[in-house]
Chains A and B, each alone.
Chain A
Amino acid sequence: MSIELKNISYTYMPKTPFERLALDDISITIPEGKITAIAGHTGSGKSTLIQHFNGLLKPNKGTILVDGVDISKKNSEAKAARRKVGIVFQYPEYQLFEETIAKDIAFGPANIGCSEEETMERVKQAMAFVNLDYDKYAHRSPFQLSGGQKRRAAIAGILALQPKYLVLDEPTAGLDPKGRESLMEKFRKFHKERDITIVLISHNMDNIASYADNVIILNKGKVTLEATPEEAFSQKELISEAGLELPEVKSIMNELARNGLDIQNEAFTMDKAVQEIIEALRRKGKC
C-alpha cells in the first residue's frame, strides 16, 4: 500500500489580494517500505505538500489516499488512515510544552487513546530509539536539555504514535554535522527495524544521496521529477532549474569525468565514488 496523491492543488488565501497557488496539480505516490525524498527550493511547496498527508490542510482540488482510504472523509476509517501518518515538523523542539520529557512524549499516545501501560511502554521505546536514557531523562524538564537533545525528545513524541508513514521536514536543520549524521542513522535504523516508510523533506542533496530510495523534485508547486536517485542526479539541468545543487560527491565525479578520468560516473555516495576512482586508476595502471 502507499500514500497516493491525485491531482492535488492548493491555494493560500483564496479570493484575496494575497492569493497564491502553492501546489499545482500534483500527482505522486509514496511507496510503502521505502525512503522517499522530496526536494525543492525554498517556497517550492514542500512543507505545504506534506501537510496534506495527514489532513492538516485540505486540498482545493484532488484526493489523497492513505492505504487506499480517502482521508478527506469524516468517518472513523479516514481518521485511522490519517493517524497512520506521523509528521515531524521543522524545528520540532518548539512544540515541547510539558513539565517532564516523559509526559511530553506521552502526549501523543494519550491523545489517541492508549492505555496507561501502553503509553508508558511506548514512551520507553521511543526514548530508547532516540538515545535518551529513560532513567536519566524521563523526569527532567524538556527545557533543560541541549538543542540536539530537545530535537530528539520532540521526535520521540512523534515516534511514540507509532506511525506507519513517518514524514520528516528538514529533520537535521540547525544541527552540527555529527548530530546530523547520527540522527539520520537513527531514522535509517528505525526504517529497517520497524519497516517504516519514511518521507524525507530536504534541500540537502547529500543527505538525499545517502539515504533515499526515491527522489521527488518540486519546483514552483509542480513535480518536475519523480525518479530513483541515480536517474535524478544524472539530470543536472533539471536539478539546477529547480534551484538545487547536485550532491557534492556527484559534482566531484562529474568534474573528474570532464577532465578525462575514465570513471563510470554512477556514484553519488562517498564509498561508491572511492571504488569507482580506484577502479579507473587501476585500469589506467597507476595503482
Chain B
Amino acid sequence: MLTDITLGQYFPGNSPIHNIDARVKIVLLFIYIVAVFLFDNRINYGIMTAGAVGVVLLSGLPLGTVLKSIKPLWWIILFSFGIHLFSTPGEPIFKVWNFAMTKEGIIQGFIISLRLVLMIAVSSLLMFTTSPLKLTDALESLMSPLKKIGFPAHELAMMMTIAMRFIPTLLEETDKIIKAQQSRGSDIGDGNFLQRAKGMIPVLVPLFISAFRRADELAIAMEARCYQGGVDRTRMKQQRLHDIDFWAGGIFGVFLISLIVVQFVL
C-alpha cells in the first residue's frame, strides 16, 4: 500500500537531540559541515567522526537507520573515491594504462568519502529528529533578516509547510483512486512501458483534479480566516531558546575550539 511509505523521515522521540531548538540545530549543522570541509588534520577527522557518532547515539535512533540514509548517495561516494584514487599525484602502487593508483590517492579518497558520509549522516539526523513543521518554522525565522531586502521568507516557509502537510493526504488519495480503478478492471503497473504509462492516466487525472480542488478549498478557507501573509503575523508557538539550546551551543563550542586547537596549534 502506498501509505505504508513514511515520508518526511521524521522519527518522533524525546531525546536531547529532538528537543534542541530547530534553529540552533540548523546553524550548528551548517557550521559542522563547513568544519568538515575546512579541517584536514587526521586527529580532527577522528574528533569529527566521534562527534557525529556521539550525536547519533544521543538521539536514540538506531545507528543502522542513520547509515541507511547514505544509501541513495552511495554511488556518488564511490565515484569520487575512484576519481581521487587515480587523479592524485604521488607514489604509484598500481597502473592501468595511463592512470596510476597512488598511495596518496587512497588516503585522499578515504578522506573525501569520510567527509561526504559525515555530512550526509549528520544532515539526515536533522531530518530524523526534527518535525517538518518545526523545520520550516526555523527556516522562516533564520531567513527573516532577508525580508528587509524583499525576500519572501514567510511565503516560502508557508509554501513548504502546506506542501509537506499535503503529501500524506495526496498519497492516501492516490491509493484510493488506484483501488477504485483496479475495481474497474484496470491493471495498473502491468505490461510494458507504454501500457504502464497509459495505465497511469486514470489515476493521474482524478488526482490532479482533486489536488486543484483541495488547493482551491484551502485558499478560500485561509482567506475566510483573514490570512494575510507575513505582515505583522504573530505566532501561537513562540520560538524561545531554552537551557538545552545553550548547552548544545556550549558543547559544540568546546568541540569547535578543540578542532581549531588541533588544527593550528598541534
Chain A interface helix/strand/loop/mixed: mixed
Q: Does B184 contact A108, Cβ atoms closer than 8 Å? A: yes
**Which residues between 189 and 221 of chain B lie within 8 Å of chain A, taking CB atoms?**
201-202, 205-206, 209-210
Q: Is A51 an interface residue (CB 8 A)?
A: yes
- The majority secondary structure among interface residues of chain B is helix
> How many A residues, CB 8 Å from partner?
24
Residue in chain A with minimal CB distance to B184? A108
Which of B181, B183, B184, B209 has the most CB atoms of chain A within a 10 A radius of its CB? Answer: B183
With A83-B185, A96-B206, A111-B186 as contacts: A13 and B4 at CB distance below 8 Å: yes
Q: Looking at A16, A56, A97, A161, which has the most chain B CB atoms within 10 Å of its CB?
A: A97
Smallest CB–CB gap between A148 and chain B, Å? 17
Min CB distance B115 to A, Å, is: 33
Interface string of A103-116 (1 = CB under 8 A from B): 00001100110000
* Contact A56 B185, CB 8 Å, known A89-B176, A97-B201: no
B222 part of interface (Cβ distance < 8 Å): no
Complex partner residue of B183 from A54, A94, A96, A143, CB under 8 angstroms: A54
Chain A residues near B103 (CB-CB < 8 A): none
A87 at interface, CB cutoff 8 A: yes
Interface flags, A195-218, vs B, CB<8A=1, else 0: 000000000000000000000000
Least CB distance from B58 to A in Å reads 20
By the criterion CB–CB under 8 Å, are A95 and B4 in contact? no
How many Å lie between the Cα of A275 and that of B181 in the bound state? 46
Contact string, B43-78, partner A, CB cutoff 8 A, digits 1/0? 000000000000000000000000000000000000
Asked whether any CB of chain B lies closer than 8 Å to the CB of A92, the reply is: yes
**Given A94-B210, A96-B206, do A56 and B4 touch, yes or no (CB 8 Å)?**
no
Report if B34 contacts A (CB, 8 A): no
Cβ contact of B185, chosen from A18, A51, A97, A111, cutoff 8 A: A111
Interface residues of chain A, those whose CB is within 8 Å of chain B, are: 12-13, 16, 18, 51, 54, 56, 83, 86-87, 89, 92, 94-97, 107-108, 111-112, 143, 157-158, 161
6 tightest A-B contacts by CB? A111-B185, A97-B205, A108-B184, A95-B180, A112-B185, A87-B183
Q: List 18 A-B contacts (CB under 8 A).
A: A12-B1, A13-B4, A56-B183, A86-B183, A87-B180, A87-B183, A89-B180, A89-B183, A94-B180, A94-B209, A95-B202, A97-B201, A97-B202, A97-B205, A107-B181, A107-B202, A108-B185, A143-B209
